[in-house]
Amino acid sequence: GIREACQDAELRLLARETLKHGLKPFGYFEHPAAVLGELRSTPQTDAELVARIQWEGGARCREACRITREQLVGGTVDEFTGNERGRVLLTDTKGGKPRTIRITTETYAFLEARVRHFPLHMSMHTYAALVRRAAKACNEANTGTHAWRYCFARQRYKELTALTARQSLSHEAAIQQISWEMGHQRANITLLYLR
Alpha helix stretches (DSSP H) within the chain: 2-6, 9-20, 32-40, 45-57, 61-65, 105-114, 124-137, 147-161, 171-182, 187-193
pTM value is 0.84
pLDDT in tens, 33-67: 999 999 998 877 799 999 999 999 999 999 999 99
pLDDT for 152-177, tens place per residue?
999 999 999 987 767 788 999 999 99
